[in-house]
Structure 1
Amino acid sequence: MKARAKWFIPFVALLLVLAGCQSVGGFDVNKALIGDVDVKSSESSMTFSMNAEPSEGISAEDKEMVDLINSFSLSISNAKLQENGNVSANGTIGYKQLNIPFSLFMDKKTLVFTVEGAKQPFYFPVQGYDEVFAEVGLDLTKAEDLSKLLTKFVVKNLPNPSAISVTPVSEAVYGQQVNMTKLHTEVTGDELPALLKGFLKSISKDTEGFTELVGGLYDYLYPVIKAMDEKASGDYEIPGIGVIPLGDKEAVVTVLHDAAKLAVDALLLVYDNQLDSLYKSTPELKTVLSKDTKLAVDIFVDSGLHVRKQNVDLKVALPGTEDMPLKSFSLKASSQIWNIGGAVTADPISTEGALDVSSGDLTPGETLNNFDPNSNVYRILKDDLGITKRTIVIEPDDEYYYPIVDNNTTYIPLRYFAEDLDAIVEWDTVNRAIIVTDGVYGDKLVFKIGSSEAVINGEKVKLAEPVFVDEYGDAYVSLRLLAEALHATVYVDEDGWITITRK
């Protein structure tokens, strides 16, 4: 199924509308949204699911993909945010009527995760990223400040959708009844063009807010530019704008604000015509930007202006074309948060014996063999995802493998070919032998230079020709023998093309 990103532009736009709800019935949405940025500790839970509605006459291949999408779900029963920044989560991943438990933990050094059936956890080292960010001038605190400025700017200028309300409610949050304010809003696709136009008109007039946002952007990016170029405090000429002394914040902010405002005003002049042209060039967008595309959101905020519960239901209508054979695509998510600012301790996962997924050396076989063969994840990785499947095609005059044909037998460089089938190749200096270990099945193959015998899983096997070394120092063995010993099949067509397949 070929995905077309343009169909999901309304998805982003709808979520921006949510962020842009202005004060409603005296309820300050801006403070509620920004207030949670400063939360240092909390516990939460969430659920997430997707649903793709297929078009009529969908192909079997696309139907299989739709069924796969619809089978996926995510449920986090308990996520913990500790005051020191440590995070842990426990939950289940739904896949083809299976519910697979998982756990993860992250601190300043490592991200560790494990799933049901894994013999050892997996980890990804994150230590040192702060130093890397600092070296290029990135400041995470300033990034947080910029995020607040952006939220404030959008909330201030984006018009409210037609369906929005605020009501007092009493709802259960993690088993405790809490008095809250419920913000309910609904946005349909046909509202988006007018909302966006209203937003552009508002920001064009909001000199103070626009300038403040550009100033925040300057504070965030200028150290990056300076770290990359020691002369960043000098004058820079920007095409279409002129010469700007980058070290002079006031001058830079003024010039960039004026340029941005000019661009917004120019867009407003042609907005309606451009929208009409877009509909004509891409008529399918009329389906996407129709009343059938809808976002419904409920946000529950307590007296401390903390979001305690959220329900999000998004449906994007799709044109059902050949490239995107769907009538609609839906997302549903719900969450609740408790113990805000309380004593929270994330649940650590030991990295002892864990597999490092960042090194690039982790083979599919090592990944697969880290799971119990009877586990659901093992079957998914091997049968559904096919992580151990390999297909190698070798031309008669292949310039990568440089196969040698002698007496109707094709010989291949042992190391290159074995490693492409995820095997581990080692050199035994004492015995002048090459040891090949199958990365998936664990079989052990031993070849000795000049010997006409190989040892496969302890049994001697006669070779058509002794193992030989070419002028470049590469050891050659029979392609078919090596491939079949590594659980692959070999097919040679009438033109001499060789296809090696491992399932």
Structure 2
Amino acid sequence: MNRVKKRAKWLFPILALLLVLAGCQAVTGYDVNKALLGNLDVKSAEESVSFSLNAVPAAGISAEDQKTIDLINSLSLNVSHLKVQDNGDISAAGTLGFKQAAIPFTFYMNKTVLALNVEGAKKPFYFPLQGYDEELSQVGLDKDKAESVGKLVSQFVVNNLPNPSAISVTPVNEAVYGETLNLMKLHAEVTGDELPALLKVFLKSISKDTEGFTKLIDGLYDYLLPLLKQEPAQALLEQYGLSDIPLDNKADVVPVLHDAAKLAVDAALLVYDKELDKLYQSTPEIKTVLSKDTKLQLDLFVDSSFHVRKQNLSLNVALPNDGSIPIRSISFKSETQIWNINGAVKADPINVDGALNVTETNLTPGSVLSQFDANSTVYGVLKNDLGITKKSAVIEPELYDTVVKGKTTMIPLRYLAAQLDAQVKWDAATKKLTVTDDVYGTTIVLKAGSANAVIDGASVKLPEPVFFDKYGRGYVPLRFVAEALHAKVKVDDEGLIYITRD
């Protein structure tokens, strides 16, 4: 648990580092903020995006950790064609790279459905969205309000963030989707050791930006008012003695909220340096993250309409060498090209007739694999590389109410089946239990009082007959049923039973 808390603490600076390059002041007369905010008016566009990452292993890690890092480093995403339609529909076509494989996929999302198709899948997967829009509308929230607030927040942040030490603007000729364009190249970079000072300047700026701060709160008020009227929010306001605030009187509420928010920022500034020192002392690992070895670099290529047409981003994060993780550093790279901005763009839908609704399916490892052709690349990746069918369980005889009959350990069938994702059906008329293996589809038919079982139609003798206890639990030979479900069974010197399946 302590390791988890430590990791959470030093992950926060990574997010802050990404925010720093979200806003800068004018450079050599070029309005950087206008360039950064230019794409907020984009309603439709076509894009290509690539993404890759690279983890550098720490010294002395285990072979298993190295294997995991190798898998991470083999991951890549290449979206060759992403389409954003002016009505909000989105489609994408590309490949997911894993080890030496490239897995083609298509994606589509509109207001009612999110759909995904992967090469090798027997049918597309989809997730219905219509109910979520209805739930949001019931509390007064909608997409247009969310977009408006998003723009408002972006403008506020961009207008107040300071320049990093390394920033420049130069005119260039750059190819975008096969077309050479005259663009302005904005290059900026910031290192981890610059971050604390930059964030302090940001806090000072927003404290002084009364107009911008009030405008932000004004916009948030309109968006959040329906939520503030909901019971959970009302209970929270009452807890802090704020239940008497006249929420519907915007003219009175906004100034109060602004003053409270400004007071909180000013209070944070008063203790900023002291709290930063305390953070360094309590979590010395954070000094590694906030060092010169952590570096974010960004190249934006902007046209005369202040639209970003191309973007190259790289981020390298140095990680603490304290044994909590097997990685010394991790880097991310992405490249994006954008064209046909605000043009006639039509997203490519995926037909979900007969597709798999993931909200109505119990996605066990076996059910996931059954959706793909056994000879497909993705099937092999899921089963062999990611090992989604692997199972490992430890049975403590006393906790699982096992019973020894002769030399045979008997166990309640449903306990054992749950460990291996097997399904159990009981036929009261015939007093038969039917067990179906999740991955291989093997069926085992067992009958109360019988010393025989039927496995995939073939009769097999049991070491001990099936019996039911006074609670109605059906007991079966543990080793026999586990091995019939393609698992291995081992018992240690202390009597613990280990069940594993590859």
**Do both share a fold (TM > 0.5)?**
yes
Deviations, residues 249-288 of structure 1 (Å, cap 9, x unaligned): 2322222211221222222223233333333443443332
Once the two structures are TM-superposed, the CA of residue 430 in structure 1 deviates from its matched residue by 5.9
Q: Map 1:122-133; keep pairs closer than 5 Å.
A: 122-133=125-136
Classify the secondary structure of the residue corresponding to 2:470: coil
In structure 2, the partner of 1:374 is: 375
2:45 corresponds in structure 1 to 42
Q: 2:67 aligns with which of 53, 64, 74?
A: 64
In structure 1, what is the equivalent of residue 302 of structure 2? 301
Structure 1 residues 66 and 158: alpha-carbon distance in aligned structure 2, compared to 1, 3 A threshold: same
The equivalent of 2:448 in structure 1 is 449
- 1:22 is matched with 25
Partner of 2:401: 402
Secondary structure of the equivalent of 2:82?
strand
User: 1:85-115, CA deviations, whole angstroms, 9 ceiling, x for partnerless residues?
Assistant: 2221111122223222222222222222122
Amino acid aligned to 2:398: D
How far apart, in 1, do the equivalents of 2:262 and 2:29 lie? 30
Q: How many residues in Structure 1 have an aligned counterpart in Structure 2?
A: 499
1:189 counterpart = 2:188: no
Instruction: Say if 1:226 and 1:501 are closer, same or farther in 2 by CA, change over 3 A.
Output: same
Structure 1 stretch displaced more, 322-331 or 87-96 = 322-331
Does residue 93 in structure 1 map to residue 96 in structure 2?
Answer: yes
Task: Specify which of 165, 175, 178 is matched with residue 178 of structure 2.
Answer: 175
Deviations 1:408-438 (A, max 9, x none): 3222233442243222333446644332222
- 2:464, 2:320 → 1: CA distance? 62
Give the deviation of 1:316 after TM superposition. Answer: 1.9
Answer yes or no: is the 8 Å Cα contact 1:108–1:127 preserved in 2: yes
Q: Within the alignment, does 1:362 sit opposite 2:376 as a pair? A: no
2:11 aligns to what? 8
- The residue that corresponds to 1:336 in the other structure is 337
Report the equivalent of 2:499: 500
Paired amino acid for 1:334:
E
AA matched with 2:477: S
How far off its partner does 1:296 sit? 1.2
Structure 1 residue 361, shift from structure 2 partner: 1.1
Q: In 2 relative to 1, CA 241–266 (structure 1 residues): closer, same or farther, beyond 3 Å? A: farther
Whether contact under 8 Å (1:236, 1:246) holds in the other structure is no
Shift in alpha-carbon separation, 1:414–1:241, aligned structure 2, 3 A: closer
Question: Is structure 2 residue 475 aligned with structure 1 residue 476?
Answer: yes
Contact 1:10–1:316 (CA<8 Å) still a contact in 2?
no
| Separation in 1, partners of 2:462, 2:133 | 56
Q: Distance in 2 between matches of 1:263 and 1:230?
A: 20
Partner SS, residue 16 of structure 1: helix
| Residue 110 (structure 1) aligned with residue 109 (structure 2) | no
Q: Match of 2:262, SS?
A: helix
Q: Which moved more, 1:1-10 or 1:376-385?
A: 1-10
**Partner Cα distance (1:227, 1:319) in 2:** 43
- Give, in whole Å, the separation in 2 of the partners of 1:332 and 1:422: 39
Q: 2:228 touches 2:234 (CA, 8 Å); kept in 1?
A: no
Alignment partners' CA distance in 2, 1:356 and 1:211: 45
Q: Quote how far apart the aligned CAs of 1:321 are.
A: 2.5
Letter in 2 for 1:387: I
Q: Is the 8 A contact 2:405 2:464 kept in 1?
A: no
Alignment partners' CA distance in 1, 2:239 and 2:252:
13
Query: 2:426 & 2:369 partners in 1: Cα distance?
Result: 25
- Deviations for 1:153-212, whole angstroms, at most 9, x for unmatched residues? 112211112222222222111111222222111212222122112111111111111111
Q: Deviation at 1:48?
A: 0.8
Per mean C-alpha deviation after superposition, the further-off stretch among 282-291 and 193-202 is 282-291
Give the match for residue 289 of structure 2. 288
> In the alignment, which residue of structure 1 is the partner of 2:147?
144
Contact 1:137 1:226 in 2 (8 A): no
SS in 1 for 2:16: helix
2:271 alignment partner, SS class: helix
CA contact (8 A) 2:447 2:466 kept: yes
Measure, in 2, the Cα distance between the counterparts of 1:377 and 1:139: 37
The one-letter amino acid paired with 1:33 is: L
Amino acid at match of 1:397: E
Would you say the 8 A contact 2:188–2:299 is kept in 1? Answer: yes
State how far apart, in whole Å, the 2-side matches of 1:149 and 1:240 are: 29
Q: Deviations over 1:17-42 (max 9, x none)?
A: 11111333443333443342332222
Mapped partners of 1:64, 1:229: distance in 2? 46
Amino acid of the structure 1 residue aligned with 2:439: V
Secondary structure at 2:360's aligned position in 1?
A: coil
The residue aligned with 2:262 is 261
- Cross-structure match for 1:417: 416
Equivalence for 1:205: 208
Q: Which residue of the partner structure matches residue 161 of structure 2? A: 158
Residue type at the aligned position of 1:16: L
Given that residues 23 and 36 in structure 2 are in contact (C-alpha distance below 8 angstroms), is that contact kept between their aligned partners in structure 1?
no
Distance 1:198 1:437, change over 3 A: same
Percent of residue pairs bearing the same amino acid type: 62
Provide runs of 4+ in structure 1 moved above 6 Å: 229-232
CA distance in 1, matches of 2:300, 2:254: 35
Q: How do residues 311-350 of structure 1 correspond to structure 2 at under 5 angstroms?
A: 311-350=312-351
